[in-house]
Amino acid sequence: MTQTQKKKLLKSIKKSLSYLGLVLLCGGVLSAALIRGVTDENTYDRIQAGQWVVASMYWEDKLVSTGKAFNPIGWHAAHKTLPIGTLIRVSNPQNHRSINVTINDRGPFVPGRELDLSLGAGALLGFKGLGTVYMEVLSIPPIKNHRRPIVENLFAMNDANANCVGGVTAC
């Protein structure tokens, strides 16, 4: 190998190493930068610990607890105790699918079941009839028209009930 060939080889190695150093430097800077999520689907953080529940599907033609007509292909569910409007994530462990659904009805009224999925939500999960799913509560709607309990109102001391006899009867 001649002297000029050695110089060219050494020059190309230095150039390659400088490019590699630049790439590593940029990678280090980018890894330290804040990276936002790709989709809005997973931007919700759960507000309660997840739990395994027994779920079923329902598709009756009826009115739901909100007074609206039931939409069998919607992404809805029925739960006994969660507030109407609560957003939950339901995951099927058999195929690793998950979907966010809204609680819009009460039920199920069968012992041993805790969640009723609409036909549309169950189909997207690949769910067949009855089974175990993982449920996470993502958001609970704000309470509208929140009024103090009656007992608390009885003992409230303000100008409105100051003239009442004993503070118990309504004025």
CA triplet 107, 51, 111: central angle to 5 degrees?
35
30 lies in some domain: no
Instruction: Return the bridge partners of 162, or none.
Output: none
Question: Would you say residue 119 lies in a domain?
Answer: yes
Cα-based angle 105, 70, 145 (whole degrees, multiple of 5)? 45
Q: So what's the pLDDT on residue 41?
A: 46
Cβ-contact 121, 56 below 8 angstroms = no
Q: What is the pLDDT of residue 67?
A: 86
* pTM as predicted: 0.58
pLDDT at position 170 is 47
State pLDDT tens for residues 57-101.
988 878 888 888 998 889 999 999 999 999 999 999 999 999 999
Residue 80 lies in a domain: yes
Which neighbouring-strand residues pair with 97?
Answer: 92
At 125, which CATH number?
2.40.40.10
Per-residue pLDDT at 134:
93
Cα–Cα distance measured from residue 127 to residue 110, given in angstroms and rounded to the nearest whole number: 18
93 within some domain: yes
86 found inside a domain: yes
Residue 146: predicted pLDDT: 53
Number of domains in the chain: 1
Residue 66 falls within a domain, yes or no? yes
What pLDDT shows up at residue 7?
Answer: 85
Amino acid occupying residue 163: N
Q: Note the pLDDT of residue 143.
A: 66
Domain that holds residue 122: 51-139
Q: Which two tokens stand for residue 15?
A: 């150039």
User: CA torsion angle for 23, 26, 27, 31 (degrees, to 10)?
Assistant: 180
Would 95 be classed as within a structural domain?
A: yes
Q: pLDDT tens digits for the chain (171 residues)?
A: 788 888 888 888 888 888 777 777 766 666 655 444 444 444 566 677 789 999 999 888 788 888 889 988 899 999 999 999 999 999 999 999 999 999 999 999 999 999 999 999 999 999 888 999 999 999 888 766 655 445 444 444 444 444 444 444 444
Q: Is residue 19 part of a domain?
A: no
